[in-house]
């Protein structure tokens, strides 16, 4: 065996308080007071460290998946073994084809990309074929305001004042979208994410009404999100571009979406879909087929950095999703400050910078 091997895999579950200037929104049936994520540190036998990130809303399950299942299969394996995460996924497929196990593997995969970039002395974007742009625009992804026009107006004014040029709402009513359009003015692109608000026969009327406010896309309008034929029907009936993909289980789901002609903007998530490896494959295949990839990225660690490298290297320019709130701890924010509504693509080897261990330790779950 040649090359460095994986000597340790450590998981750090973080619970980060946030302020979105309103009472806590609901998430998964309870009030959300923290944004949770799992950072993964991979240490090699020659002492190099790489960082990854796994979707952490169910952080206790993800850390268990890492500690009990993923780490034992990763230890001793070669860092430059690009097929390792997929082999682990196959080995663990009985534990679930998505969810905490695959989220954990996503974090490992991202950390291995960080290590490969560091070892080669190049930013990850170079490993993806090279950057096509040095900076990417960022859109303000508002949290939920439940149609409260004053709060929507406050958040939109604040975002536009800070230089953001695009807004995404997490709202479900026509009135909320109208209020947002009134606040933003006629020219700011507005996207609407409904988080699977409607059954298929309920969606057409509200989506057509929202289209009167000139929305760029409607995101996850249909429950369940994998009902691609219903989404295709909605897209055809309303003419409104659709966005979907953050809840997809694997890369094959995106092929099925394309076959169903149900989507304009695909949204694979680095920290849910298996890591940067499948994210890049999905992105490339989708854009080669004429779609636009706008990765899901309402998170703040190495997965966020990985997403920036994808946006820098991919064929079509598109904006980075930034959850719009103040964070008590922004693990990687200092490497990619938002200035004038853009982030500069990191130039340091790897993803662009390691989370500050002393800082994140204060927010451990």
Footprint of Mg ion (CB under 5 A): 193
* Those residues with Cβ within 8 angstroms of residue 297's Cβ, 6 or more apart along the chain or in another chain: 269, 270, 303, 304, 307, 320, 321, 322
Residue nearer to Mg ion on the CB measure, 114 or 193: 193
Three-state secondary structure call for residue 257: helix
Q: What is the DSSP letter of 51?
A: E
Give yes or no for a contact between 258 and 239, defined as CB atoms under 8 angstroms apart: no
Cβ at position 276, least distance to Mg ion in Å: 19
Residue nearer to Mg ion on the CB measure, 193 or 330: 193
Cβ at position 241, least distance to Mg ion in Å: 15
Cβ at position 219, least distance to Mg ion in Å: 5
Residue nearer to Mg ion on the CB measure, 9 or 159: 159
Give yes or no for a contact between 61 and 213, defined as CB atoms under 8 angstroms apart: no
- CA atoms within 13 Å, Cβ hemisphere of 138: 28
Cβ at position 86, least distance to Mg ion in Å: 25
Residue nearer to Mg ion on the CB measure, 36 or 193: 193
Cβ at position 172, least distance to Mg ion in Å: 13
Cβ at position 323, least distance to Mg ion in Å: 10
Rg (CA), the chain: 20
Cβ at position 82, least distance to Mg ion in Å: 29
- d(C-alpha 104, C-alpha 342), whole Å: 29
- d(C-alpha 354, C-alpha 351), whole Å: 8
Residue nearer to Mg ion on the CB measure, 53 or 193: 193
Checking DSSP bridges between strand 6-19 and strand 326-327, what pairing results, if any? antiparallel
Cβ at position 133, least distance to Mg ion in Å: 24
Cα–Cα distance list, 307 to 43, 61, 158, 275 (Å): 22, 24, 24, 10
Cα–Cα distance list, 274 to 90, 176, 265, 308 (Å): 11, 34, 19, 17
DSSP class per residue in 69-84: IIHHHHTTSBTT-TTH
- d(C-alpha 38, C-alpha 16), whole Å: 11
Residue nearer to Mg ion on the CB measure, 84 or 320: 320
The residue written with tokens 């196990």 in the block is 101
Residue nearer to Mg ion on the CB measure, 193 or 354: 193
Residue nearer to Mg ion on the CB measure, 6 or 169: 169
Give residue number: closest CB to Mg ion: 193
């Amino acid at each position: 065996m040649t090359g460095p091997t994986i000597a340790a895999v450590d998981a750090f579950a973080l619970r980060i308080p946030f302020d979105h200037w309103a009472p806590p929104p609901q998430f998964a049936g309870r009030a959300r007071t923290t944004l949770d994520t799992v950072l993964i540190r991979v240490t090699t036998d020659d002492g190099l460290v790489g960082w990854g990130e796994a979707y952490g809303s169910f952080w206790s399950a993800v850390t268990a998946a890492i500690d009990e299942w993923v780490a034992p299969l990763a230890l001793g394996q070669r860092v430059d073994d690009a097929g390792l995460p997929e082999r682990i996924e196959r080995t663990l497929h009985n534990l679930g084809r998505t969810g905490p196990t695959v989220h954990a593997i996503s974090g490992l995969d991202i950390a291995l990309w960080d290590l490969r970039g560091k070892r080669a002395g190049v930013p990850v974007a170079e490993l993806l074929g090279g950057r096509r742009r040095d900076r990417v625009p960022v859109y303000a992804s508002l949290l939920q305001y439940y149609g409260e026009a004053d709060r929507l107006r406050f958040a939109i004014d604040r975002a536009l004042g800070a230089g953001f040029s695009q807004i995404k709402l997490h709202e479900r009513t026509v009135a909320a979208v109208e209020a947002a359009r009134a606040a933003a003015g006629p020219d700011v692109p507005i996207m609407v994410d409904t988080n699977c608000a409607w059954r298929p026969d309920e969606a057409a009327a509200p989506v057509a009404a929202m289209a009167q406010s000139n929305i760029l896309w409607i995101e996850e309008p249909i429950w369940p999100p994998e009902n691609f034929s219903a989404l295709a029907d909605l897209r055809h009936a309303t003419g409104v571009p659709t966005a979907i993909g953050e809840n997809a289980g694997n890369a094959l789901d995106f092929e099925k979406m394309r076959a169903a002609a149900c989507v304009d903007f695909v949204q694979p998530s680095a920290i849910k879909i298996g890591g940067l490896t499948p994210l890049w494959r999905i992105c490339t295949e989708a854009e080669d087929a004429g779609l636009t990839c706008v990765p899901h990225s309402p998170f703040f660690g190495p997965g966020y950095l990985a997403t920036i490298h994808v946006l820098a290297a991919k064929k079509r320019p598109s904006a980075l999703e930034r959850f719009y709130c103040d964070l008590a701890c922004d693990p990687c924010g200092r490497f990619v400050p938002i200035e004038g509504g853009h982030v500069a693509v990191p130039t340091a080897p790897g993803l662009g910078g390691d989370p500050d261990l002393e800082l994140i330790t204060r927010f451990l779950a």
